[in-house]
Amino acid sequence: MNPRQLAYFRRKLLLWKAEILAEARATMRQLRAEPLQEPDATDRAASETDWAIELRARDRQRKLLAKIDAALERIETGEYGYCEISGEPISLARLEARPIATMTLEAQERHEREEKVSRDD
């Protein structure tokens, strides 16, 4: 991967990270500003369910941040864009769709098939 492509993916990853952090800050502000004080039990349950869903989404994004940071580290070490299993280059189309990808599409599919087989046992 050439330096221009690496710079593109670094920028893409940093923007994605910034968006996630901004959403997390907005969620925290909203949680502080709007405590659950619904008088009706049904309304309160609905609000709690909404917040639980929101917090689960934030937790998934927290895990995504770790993957973004790992991808940025791979850019710095020169490992970005190469499959961690085969060492082959990951296609630019795959990296465009999933910039945190660590495996080629073929290696990922093989990994998922093996995982499914082991779960079925």
- CATH number for the domain whose boundaries are 3-120: 1.20.120.910
The alpha-helical segments, DSSP class H, found in the chain are 3-33, 41-77, 92-97, 105-120
Instruction: Please name which of 61, 69, 68 lies closest in space to residue 26, comparing C-alpha atoms.
Output: 61
- Condensed to tens digits (0 to 9), the pLDDT of residues 35-67 reads 666 677 776 677 777 778 877 888 888 899 999
pLDDT category at 3 given cuts 50, 70, 90 is: very high
pLDDT of 54 reads 77
pTM above 0.75, yes or no: yes
Q: Where are the domains of the chain?
A: 3-120
Instruction: Determine the length of the chain.
Output: 121
- Condensed to tens digits (0 to 9), the pLDDT of residues 85-113 reads 999 999 999 999 999 999 999 999 999 99
